[in-house]
Structure 1
Amino acid sequence: MHELVGALRSYAWGSRTVLAQLCGRPVPSAHPEAELWFGAHPADPARVRIDGHTESLLELVAADPQRQLGAVAPEFGGRLPFLLKILAAEEPLSLQAHPSADQARAGFERENLQRVPLDSPMRNYRDDSHKPELVVALNRFEALAGFRDPHRTVALLTALAVPELKQYTELLAAQPDSSGLRTVFTTWITLPQAILDTLLPKVLDGCVSYLAASCEEFVSEVRTVLELAEAYPGDAGVLAALLINRITLEPGQGLFLAAGNLHAYLNGVGVEIMANSDNVLRGGLTPKHVDVPELLRVLDFEPLALPIVTPEPVDEHSFRYRTPAPEFALRRFELADGADPTPIPRTGPGIMLCTAGTVRMLQGGDSLLIPQGGAAWISAADTDIRAQAVDGAAQLFCACVGGE
């Protein structure tokens, strides 16, 4: 086991305080800090500290996949199949979805044949993998995720009492299914800017009137539309937000998103684990590259019940987050001060991430301290791993390969 140094990613929607405070660095940071990557993705691999020097985790795994990954190495082509992150969203992320495995392979090959550089801002597919993902809230976490039940959306659009929305409300009421959602979403996301500039102000006026009337049923949905319109004026993604589930996660709750689910994280801090991919199809709410036709090709328009993952108690100090993804599994440990070392079960290699307090990792006679915001790499060859809180309670996440 070795210390793992995360790769810091700076995006405009990030925070100048959260990740710096978490990792014990000066606040505010020079730039908005959005994500801390702990993984072996070619775009920004973490680094393993070994005998006083650091080495790329990507290179470490590639040099000896059998030792580092163990029995799962052949299944995943000798690559670490998951990517672990801490995500800090101070402003909304883009309206986006991720491709299926087949869509990712086809898209990656297509853009390679078109000779689109891997680091081009116009690139949609940066690798050939799908990207199921799970985010677990560290504080109150707000998000849009999956198309809402059309009957509920009809009720929302009706409550706004905007005459210009009547034709879309009637269309969805007549066809309250994935086909109706596809028609309305596709129409809205492709509206000519001149029409959008006329429609959006009417919708926003309806939102303001709804809140002024002290209506309660759709308050969070309506406020979100107004907030998005302020951040991204004239953006079709503001209209699209009317069709998507508005979700609030309390600390410890998770949100799982399979391929094709439209979503946008709005605000909050979370631990995120996903297949080892950086493929994102964006439809709006961002200054980054937007490719609406490609987004429409990958979207799943089936209405989605709230995709909240409730942690499943394993014992008095550990919780499992179940998902169908074979690439990853995530467990959370709440380590009490003064308690005996806790065994850390896992499948194959693991990444241990400390999100509160300080943790001592133990293996035989060796030990490794992980401070808050720090992580450790555990190869498949490392056995009998245990964890213990140091000088107070601690929180530890264990990321490993799925199927535990």
Structure 2
Amino acid sequence: MERLRGAIKEYAWGSAAAIPGLFDLPPADGPVAEIWLGTHKSGPAELASGIVYNPTADAAEENLRDYIDRDPQGCLGTTLPSSVNALSYLLKLIAPDQPLSLQVHPSRKQARERYADENDAGVEMTDPNRNYFDENHKPELLVALTKFEAVAGFRAPRRVMDVVGGLPCTIAEDLLRFLQKDLSSEGMRTCFEYLLSADTRPSEDQVMELVEGCRKRLREDTSPSARADRIVSNLADHYPGDPGIVASLLLNPVTLQQGEALFVPAGTVHAYLSGTGVEIMANSDNVLRAGLTSKHIDVPELLATVDYTAAPPIRIAPERVSDVTRTYYAPVDDFELSVTELRDWTTERNLPGRGPRILLAISGAIEVSTNEQRITLNLGEAVFVRADEGNLQVQGVGTLIQADIP
């Protein structure tokens, strides 16, 4: 087992207080959006003691990516879905203080082909207009540590008509006209493309006209979806005039309470709005943005990636695999996530899971044992467990997150 320190991502939308607060630390001077625990080349975890969040630490002598590369078979085993000498998953802590971009992730086939295309075209990894930073898809599972708000996937077209109906503005009238003509996924495609495409996207004034209509409904308590109108108002506070504000009305609002989970497959348009969570995904950083961001937006590439089928958000209910562990099984072969809650130092428990694992203590103190090693993880500490270290036993009082493979 090797102790880990995470890669800190200080994106502008991050909370200065949420992640430090998880570890009983004061707020940071700036945003702390994510902590990455994995092997992705954009931010591999380091082999170092202490808690995963340490913004003042000097760089460690070795990172997890290089460590695995020295003995990939021993570290990863022989059953991983990827042939690359890296973990198939990326574990994160995420804490948006303001809404993230409206975005979608590609399929594995699309990522592989388009990554090669950008390489062949000579697009540098540092180019702000590059879309693909690896060859992998990026399905993801988020488990809420606090109340967590998001939008994900398209509503039923008739429900969209209910939500935009009665708004006295050009955009609402256009959306209604498109859906009255076609209530299928093609009608939803027409609406989404109309909002984002360069030759049809509404002006900032038109967007703000719709925003004011939503705010008026809220004030007068006449909204067919107060939650959707509140989301519109919130997005307009952060991204005034952005057509992505209107696109949120096409999507399902999602509220997760602590312990509840949302799965986002390839092609699903989504945006995380607020809260703190632990996220696990395929080992990728491929993001195609639709709006609500100052970063690069490639509208044609995004529109070609989106699944326009109306569907409810995919909530993953955990299975109780023991009296102390619940596991969230996502429908992919890249990862699974478990939460173990221990209340007794006197009893040693077997920890389910296999292959290369990352363990993170998010409360208390937990002792982790293999046949040859014993480590205590205190609040905020993490460890990488090689595949060849076999089964694990745990005891203590606290909560442990485990990332592993199916």
Instruction: Please give the TM-score of this superposition, normalised by the length of structure 2.
Output: 0.93
Matching residue of 1:120: 127
2:208–2:240: 8 Å Cα contact kept in structure 1?
A: no
Decide which moves more: 327-336 or 262-271: 327-336
Corresponding residue SS for 2:394 = strand
Measured in 2, the distance between the counterparts of 1:194 and 1:294 equals 16
1:225-240 equivalence runs, <5 A: 225-240=232-247
Aligned-pair distance for 1:170?
A: 3.0
Does the alignment pair 1:255 with 2:262?
Answer: yes
For the pair 1:395 / 2:399, whether they are aligned, the reply is yes
Moved more, 258-267 or 12-21: 12-21
Q: Bigger CA drift: 282-291 or 192-201? A: 192-201
1:293 to 300, 316, 320: 300
SS in 2 for 1:381: helix
Query: Which residue in the other structure is 1:109 paired with?
Result: 116
Gaps of 5+ in 1: none
1:150 partnered with 2:150: no
Superposition map of 1:321-400 within 5 A: 321-338=328-345, 340-364=347-371, 366-389=373-396, 393-400=397-404
Residue by residue over 1:84-112, the C-alpha shift from the partner in whole angstroms, topping out at 9 and shown as x without a partner, is 00001111111100000111011111111
**What are the within-5 Å matches in structure 2 for residues 178-327 of structure 1?**
178-190=185-197, 195-215=202-222, 217-327=224-334
Cα deviation digits, residues 14-62 of structure 1 (max 9, x gap): 111112222344x221220111000001111001248xx7521101111
Structure 1 position 363, deviation (Å): 1.9
Query: Is 2:80–2:88's contact at 8 Å kept on the other side of the alignment?
Result: no
Letter in 2 for 1:22: L
> Where does residue 38 of structure 1 map in the other structure?
37
Match of 2:104 in 1: 97
The offset of 1:175, in angstroms, is 1.5
Question: Which 10-residue stretch deviates more, 157-166 or 101-110?
Answer: 157-166
Q: Residue deviations 1:206-233, cap 9 Å, x none? A: 1022112213641111010011011001
Aligned residue runs from structure 1 range 54-65, under 5 A:
54-65=61-72
User: 3-state DSSP class of the match of 1:358?
Assistant: strand
Letter in 2 for 1:30: D
In the alignment, is the contact (CA less than 8 A) between 2:342 and 2:399 conserved in 1? yes
Structure-2 change in CA distance of 1:153 and 1:275 (3 Å) = same
Does the 8 Å contact 1:83/1:277 carry over to 2? yes
- Of stretches 185-194 and 1-10 in structure 1, the one that deviates more from structure 2 is 185-194
**Distance in 2 between the 1:183 and 1:319 partners?**
41
1:191 Cα shift? 5.4
In structure 2, the partner of 1:47 is 46
Aligned twin of 2:16: 16
Aligned equivalents of 1:209, 1:339: Cα separation in 2: 59
- Partner amino acid for 1:107? R
What CA distance in whole angstroms lies between the structure 1 residues aligned with 2:338 and 2:166?
Answer: 41
Residue 14 of structure 1 aligns with an amino acid whose one-letter code is G
Alignment match, 2:54: none
Cα distance in 1 for residues equivalent to 2:356 and 2:194: 46
Counterpart contact for 1:9–1:35, Cα < 8 Å: yes
Aligned length: 396
Q: CA deviation at 1:364?
A: 3.1
Q: Distance in 1 between matches of 2:303 and 2:220?
A: 36
Q: Secondary structure at the match of 2:229?
A: helix
Aligned equivalents of 1:194 and 1:265: distance in 2?
A: 23
Residue ranges of structure 2 left out of the alignment (5+ in a row): 50-59
* Matched residue, 2:52: none
Distance in 1 (CA, whole Å) between partners of 2:305 and 2:371 is: 48
Amino acid at match of 1:396: L
User: How big is the shift at 1:397?
Assistant: 1.2
CA contact (8 A) 2:162 2:224 kept: no
Which residue number corresponds to residue 55 of structure 2? none
Q: Deviations over 1:259-294 (max 9, x none)?
A: 110010000111100010000001110111111111
Secondary structure at the residue paired with 2:388?
coil
| Aligned mates of 1:10, 1:164 — CA distance in 2 | 35
Alpha carbons of structure 1 residues 279 and 219: separation in structure 2 relative to 1, 3 Å: same
Range moving further from structure 2, 282-291 or 307-316? 307-316
Q: Secondary structure at the match of 1:388?
A: strand
What is the SS of the residue equivalent to 2:142? strand
The CA distance in 2 between the partners of 1:184 and 1:74, in whole Å, is 37
Question: Distance in 1 between the 2:266 and 2:366 partners?
Answer: 34
SS at match of 1:316: coil
Kept in 2, the 8 Å contact 1:92–1:267? The answer is yes
The answer (yes or no) to whether the contact 1:2–1:368 under 8 Å persists in 2 is no
* Residues 69, 349 of structure 1: 8 Å contact kept: yes
Alpha-carbon RMSD across the aligned residues, in angstroms, is 1.9
The one-letter code of the counterpart of 1:206 is G
Q: Cα–Cα, structure 1 residues 15 and 164, in superposed 2: closer, same or farther, change >3 Å?
A: closer
After superposition, the Cα gap between the structure-2 partners of 1:140 and 1:195, relative to the gap in structure 1 and judged at 3 Å, is: closer
